[in-house]
Structure 1
Amino acid sequence: MDKVRLIFSFLFILSSLTYSLGQEITEKPPKIISQTLSQRWELDSIDKKGTFRLNYYKPFYITAGRWSNSPNLIPQSENPDYSVPETSPYNNYEAKFQLSFKSKVLQSMFWGHGDLWIAYTQVAHWQIFNTELSRTFRELNYEPEVMLNFGLNANPLGFRWRTVGVSFNHQSNGQDLPRSRSWNRVIFHAGLEKDRWMIVIRPWIRLPDEEDENPLVMDFIGRAEATLA
């Protein structure tokens, strides 16, 4: 009797799974709607949502499988005060994740055309598989930013120019000497749209620093970036 009951229970579960899977297959998948520049930066009056609302800024991601064939065991700098004298037993494998938020703090400045935003991004390099170093964080990069953004509606060269602005950006790993790394820059940005395409261009200028920890950082990180979506 128990075997018969078990068989009927199994058949009932199997039929329920088949029905639910059939429903999922026949139902239409949800439509994915990408955000425009106006929606991301609240440019048009219909998209404005006020101040002090938390929004995403740069992408959120996490990966537990980052691999390097040659991890930097002894960080060096062109400034000898910031060169590490001893090596660290870092693993080739580590986890990495990024968190990033922004919030508008002032709206409709400069005759109703400008908004002031603050942002914070953090990137973590985690030696989660390294028991020798007690699964330490190899690097934590902190990046606060203040941005002044202006909404536009111009059409040069067939593109719809939607936004221009400028920001002050600070990036630091928050460590003590000689592992400390930090720099400041002024970033200019412009956002354009065409049909279903969007491009954001961000060139920057590095600000001088008396205690320069990264004299040649621009040669490695670059002097601009472009995002196409």
Structure 2
Amino acid sequence: MSLTTWMLLAAASANPCVEEQLRHGAEDTTLGQIRAHCNLEADDDDSAASERIDAEMAAAEERFVLNAHHNNYILPASYNRRPNEAGWEYAPEAMDNWEVKFQLSVKVPVTPEWFSGQGRFYVAYTNQSWWQAYNKDASAPFRETNHMPELIYFHRPNWQWGEWKVEALSLAFNHQSNGQSGTQSRSWNRIIGGGAVSNGAWTFGAQAWHRLKEDPKSSPDDPRGDDNPDITDFMGHGELLMLYKRDERNLSLRLRGNLATGKGGVEAGWSLPLFAKLRGYVQIYYGYGESLIDYNVKSERVSLGFEFTPWL
């Protein structure tokens, strides 16, 4: 038995990915493929983005593991200086400026790996909620909840130019809705293409989307038809994401908007480890499109709380 085989067998006892491949991998899987798939030869100079993708690939085969998609957090202290009273259903009680904002975002692989482990389909779900938890006069309602299921093809091309590496390419069908009816209903369907490049602590991502056309409504109360025909005027046709990770501290910046209308939104975040998997998290949002109900209303929000899975 070769030294490499002995190393793989020894690693299997400490590496669930290797054990899964040895037990259930295809008969023609090579040692090189196992090493690459399970990142046994990780370079100490790997970027923060590479480390996250490697960790996801190692955990993807685990039966009881759900991978994070976007970051997951709960922000108990979330203050919006410009709350949107227009969609508030609980008058005469006023809407609180303070609420709880949280996000749950997960994904799971639904196909085998293709192209020597470089490509795979995932289903993902992201839930983002704004909860008037401190508004006792209105019985602490959930003001808005956005649901976003996706079908995503993820491809890791491993292209590199100098110090910059293309970490990922993706193509997704995306549906987002606030689950409401009547005049409060908001939704849209998109085809989204994206990519990410990295260099050490820096990662830059970009997405461009095409909104799928819907028929116009015959009246504002018509349950069929387009709930928000002008949404791209405020949400644009794409977004940019900048991430920086150093010493387990994460900085993030998301930019989204429409150059033709001059409207859009920016979200900035900073997180640092506290203990176990709990991280402190500060988030700032300014502009349009923070939520679907407020897609055409400007928010000015500062939030403080906890992050459970960071971007990187």
User: Separation in 2 of the partners of 1:169 and 1:87?
Assistant: 37
C-alpha separation in 2, matches of 1:43 and 1:153: 16
CA distance in 1, matches of 2:62, 2:109: 5
1:227 to partner: Cα distance: 2.2
Q: Does 1:223 align with 2:223?
A: no
Secondary structure of 2:157 counterpart: strand
Alpha-carbon deviation of 1:36?
A: 3.9
Is 1:64 aligned to 2:76, yes or no?
yes
Residue 171 and residue 138 in structure 1: after superposition, are their counterparts in 2 closer, same or farther (change >3 A)? same
Task: Give TM-score scaled by structure 2 length.
Answer: 0.53
Distance 2:85 2:150 in 1: 30
Given candidates 196, 202, 205, the residue that maps to 2:201 is: 196
Q: How does 1:1-229 map to 2 (within 5 A)?
A: 36-42=48-54, 47=58, 49-50=60-61, 53-75=65-87, 89-109=94-114, 112-156=117-161, 158-210=163-215, 211-229=225-243
| CA gap 1:105/1:36 in 2 versus in 1, 3 angstroms | farther
Ranges in structure 2 where 5+ consecutive residues have no aligned partner: 1-45, 216-224, 244-312
Q: Which residue of 2 aligns with 1:28?
A: none
2:159 and 2:69 map into 1 onto residues whose CA distance is 24
The alpha-carbon deviation at position 103 of structure 1 amounts to 1.0
Is contact 1:38–1:47 with CA below 8 Å preserved after alignment?
Answer: no
Whichever residue aligns with residue 215 of structure 1, its letter is: P
Unaligned runs of 5+ in 1: 1-33, 77-83
Amino acid at match of 1:127: Q
The size of the alignment, in residue pairs, is: 188
SS in 2 for 1:161: strand
Structure 1 pair 43–180 and aligned structure 2 pair: CA distance change class (3 A):
same
Task: Give the % identical residues.
Answer: 32
C-alpha distance in 2 between matches for 1:61 and 1:208: 33
Larger mean Cα displacement after TM superposition, 218-227 or 91-100: 218-227
Cross-structure match for 2:219: none
Point out the structure with the larger helix share: 1
Report if aligned partners of 2:127, 2:147 keep a CA contact under 8 Å in 1.
Answer: yes
Alpha-carbon distance between aligned partners in 2 of 1:214 and 1:42, rounded to the nearest angstrom: 39
Instruction: Report if the CA contact (8 A) 2:60-2:67 is conserved.
Output: no
TM-score w.r.t. length of structure 1: 0.71
| Cα distance between partner residues in 1 of 2:81 and 2:120 | 44
By how many angstroms is 1:194 displaced? 1.5
Matched residue SS, 2:133 = coil
Q: 1:120 to 1:96 in 2, by over 3 A?
A: same
Change (3 A) 1:88 1:197: same
Pairwise CA distance, 1:218: 1.6
